[in-house]
């Protein structure tokens, strides 16, 4: 299958969503002039163009798109052509209410916004296939076409009747018999036993808490149904253009899709990333999403969307201070992106996103936003030929799994304060601050490339995943697990002893007596640090090494356990303590940081033979880098040290 390199041709793709249908034709020519000025080489057309392309059922209005495709061809700008299927035209909902999704409490999601389609609706799927077929037939041979972009940020849930029927089909295929389903769902509890497939519903709003395995299966079903929609469109475009790569854009750390599964079906993995410019941990969040996307792609990936300035969907929408757009874009490249794109090219004047920034803001060509975009375009052109296609070597893997997230995030838990993404972020941040380059992996993936495997929290682990973790340690690898790991099997059935016995044995946990979740703001003292969120009453095996809790009910009991190369952390250590603990464990496993002695706030990443240095601080810093280098950004040739200005960056070639 063609990959991202088929579209980049050795350059970093630079551009964004282009919605020219919002503008008169004169503006299109102005757009092209500015795009060329900024070094834009890629635009995504058609994401929300369904009503324009098919104004009435079955009609086709391609003339405007023909003009734009030709304009892009003549300007040397590649087109990522989107299927418009994420926002059906109003006529579809009006004529076919069965295409509209229904929430768990029975509310219809009407047209007038976007993404109002039911993944299970045969009518929706028929219309989506037809417009995709016609787009592929018409533009498959167009020289401007570089990639297909299917739909946009798949994210809808549906609890309606057609989805209910599809859910039953999905369950029949999974379980075969009602007995098997009743056993897996534990329906002996609360008189939930099913005597007929027809009685099974999506988890619609009940009087009191829902059946957790029903909810878990519904999450799996929803991800699978959306994936079916994607695959159906992908197969259509692939039939027309087997040489053109296909993608769909993920939302970062979004709970709705099992992105490991999805990534297998994509030629190019792409993501939309919008850290809050005011968030002191914005860079860490960016790094996490970038590492995860690269791992899903197993190589270079596409930053499909970011914002050149403010978004408009937070309570308060802050612009990016001078230099931050460039810095975060270079961070993405450092962590494997071969495409740096935006939502959107030109800021809208109407519609729900008119206060969302664009590469060309309302201030126009003279505005700071566009001027900074231009500078970035020149930077990316300078480094593109050196960086595209090159790999990042990581000796540490963080394990993540959507099924564990779904199962572990339901009602009726010991603590609703435990938030799966927050725990993941805390652990990845610790690795980031220790300058340890990190991949992500699925718990059943081959882990043999990694010296150190880190499991921040995997509440649900399959038997195969547990075997995999044990094999990793047996094979000489080091493993660190955080609390609430290995609690449930794949049906969300609690494992005997409250945590998998083989894991308990591995870590030297003789008995897990009780969990002691902590209130917001509450902390627990340990010998050398403070923990929050969670603590555990554990009786350790005799040969386990431990760091004990100090004071309180758990005084003297182990907070951290270690047996050989396996570590278990039963609380959430404060940020510096977790960083130091992981740095120590990594050192013991033979994993070195990218550079020693980096000043606080400076990120270092090696990609291929290049060393990226990124200063996330507002003050200039000097970084010691032994040897002579060429900085591909500035053209300078520093020896032994490099000075980075506020939000400054260097890309050093030996």
- Give yes or no for a contact between 308 and 287, defined as CB atoms under 8 angstroms apart: no
CB of 356 to ligand GAL, least distance (A): 5
Instruction: Report strand pairing: 621-628 vs 452-455.
Output: unpaired
CB of 524 to ligand GAL, least distance (A): 38
SS3 assignment, position 183: helix
Instruction: From 38, 21, 29, 649, select the one nearest 361 (Cα to Cα).
Output: 38
- Of 54, 162, 266, 305, the active-site residue reads 305
CB of 654 to ligand GAL, least distance (A): 38
CB of 310 to ligand GAL, least distance (A): 10
Nearby residues of 577 by Cβ (< 8 Å), 6 or more positions away: 528, 529, 530
Nearby residues of 235 by Cβ (< 8 Å), 6 or more positions away: none
Residue closer to ligand GAL by CB (options 272, 372) is 272
265 carries an active-site annotation? no
CB of 17 to ligand GAL, least distance (A): 6
256: Cα separation from own chain's centroid: 11
Instruction: From 501, 552, 521, 544, select the one nearest 536 (Cα to Cα).
Output: 552
Q: Which residues bind ligand GAL (CB under 6 A)?
A: 152-153, 272, 274, 305, 311, 343, 353, 356
Instruction: From 302, 245, 250, select the one nearest 81 (Cα to Cα).
Output: 245
Position closest to ligand GAL via CB: 343
CB of 541 to ligand GAL, least distance (A): 49
Nearby residues of 10 by Cβ (< 8 Å), 6 or more positions away: 384, 385, 388, 389
- Of 153, 433, 536, 603, the active-site residue reads 153
Interatomic CA distance for residues 315 and 217, integer angstroms: 33
Interatomic CA distance for residues 432 and 73, integer angstroms: 42
Beta strands in 583-629 (DSSP E): 602-607, 610-615, 621-628
- Asked whether the CA dihedral 414, 582, 520, 209 is positive or negative, the reply is negative
444 carries an active-site annotation? no
Residues marked active site are found at 153, 305
């Amino acid at each position: 299958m063609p990959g991202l390199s088929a579209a980049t041709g050795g350059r970093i793709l630079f551009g964004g969503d282009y919605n020219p249908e919002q503008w008169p034709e004169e503006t299109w020519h102005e757009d092209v002039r500015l795009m060329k000025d900024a070094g834009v080489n890629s635009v995504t057309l058609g994401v929300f163009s369904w009503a324009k392309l098919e104004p009435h059922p079955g009609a086709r209005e391609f003339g405007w798109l023909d003009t734009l495709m030709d304009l892009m061809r003549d300007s040397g700008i590649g087109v990522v052509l989107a299927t418009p299927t994420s926002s059906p035209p109003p006529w579809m909902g009006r004529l076919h209410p069965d295409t509209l999704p229904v929430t768990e409490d029975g509310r219809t999601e009407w047209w007038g916004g976007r993404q109002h389609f039911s993944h299970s609706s045969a009518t929706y799927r028929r219309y989506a296939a037809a417009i995709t077929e016609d787009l592929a037939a018409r533009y498959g041979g167009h020289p401007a076409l570089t990639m297909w972009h299917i739909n946009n940020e798949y994210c809808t849930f549906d609890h309606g009747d057609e989805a209910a029927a599809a859910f039953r089909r999905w369950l029949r295929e999974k379980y075969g018999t009602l007995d098997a389903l009743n056993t897996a769902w534990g329906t002996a509890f609360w008189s939930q036993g099913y005597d007929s497939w027809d009685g099974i519903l999506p988890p619609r709003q009940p009087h009191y808490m829902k059946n957790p395995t029903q909810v878990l299966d519904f999450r799996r079903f929803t991800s699978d149904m959306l994936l079916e929609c994607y695959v159906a469109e992908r197969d259509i475009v692939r039939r027309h253009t087997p040489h053109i790569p296909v993608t769909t854009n993920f939302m970062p750390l979004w709970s709705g899709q099992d992105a490991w599964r999805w990534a297998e079906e994509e030629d190019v993995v792409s993501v939309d990333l919008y850290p809050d410019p005011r968030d002191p941990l914005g860079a860490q969040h960016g790094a996490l999403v970038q590492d995860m996307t690269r791992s899903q792609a197993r190589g270079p990936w596409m930053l499909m969307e970011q914002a050149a300035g403010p978004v408009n969907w937070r309570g308060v929408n802050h612009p990016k201070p001078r230099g931050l757009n460039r810095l975060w874009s270079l961070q993405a490249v450092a962590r494997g992106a071969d495409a740096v794109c935006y939502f959107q090219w030109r800021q809208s004047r109407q519609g729900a996103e008119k206060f969302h920034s664009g590469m060309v803001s309302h201030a126009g060509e003279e505005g700071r936003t566009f001027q900074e975009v231009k500078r970035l375009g020149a930077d990316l052109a300078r480094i593109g030929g050196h960086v595209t296609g090159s790999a990042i070597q990581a000796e540490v893997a963080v394990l993540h799994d959507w099924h564990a997230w779904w199962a572990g995030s339901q009602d009726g838990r010991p603590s609703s304060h435990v938030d799966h993404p927050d725990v993941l972020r805390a652990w990845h941040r610790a690795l980031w601050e220790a300058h340890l380059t990190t991949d992500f992996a699925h718990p059943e993936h081959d882990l043999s490339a990694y010296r150190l495997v880190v499991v921040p929290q995997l509440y649900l682990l399959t038997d195969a995943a547990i075997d995999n973790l044990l094999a990793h340690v047996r094979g000489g690898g080091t493993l660190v697990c955080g609390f609430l790991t290995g609690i449930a099997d794949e049906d969300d059935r609690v494992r005997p002893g409250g945590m998998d016995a083989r894991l308990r044995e591995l870590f030297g946990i003789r008995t897990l007596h009780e969990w002691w979740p902590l209130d917001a703001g509450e902390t627990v003292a340990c010998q050398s640090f403070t923990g929050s969120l969670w603590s555990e009453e554990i009786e350790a095996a005799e040969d386990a090494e431990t760091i004990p809790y100090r004071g309180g009910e758990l005084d003297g009991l182990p907070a951290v356990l270690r047996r050989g190369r396996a570590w278990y952390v039963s609380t959430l250590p404060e940020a510096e303590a977790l960083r130091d603990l992981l740095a120590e464990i990594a050192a013991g496993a033979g994993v070195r940081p990218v550079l020693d002695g980096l000043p606080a706030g400076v990120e270092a990443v090696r990609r291929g033979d290049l060393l990226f240095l990124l200063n996330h601080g507002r003050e200039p810093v000097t970084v010691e880098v032994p040897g002579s280098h060429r900085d591909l950004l500035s053209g300078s040739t520093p020896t032994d040290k490099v000075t980075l200005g506020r939000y400054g960056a260097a890309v050093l070639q030996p």
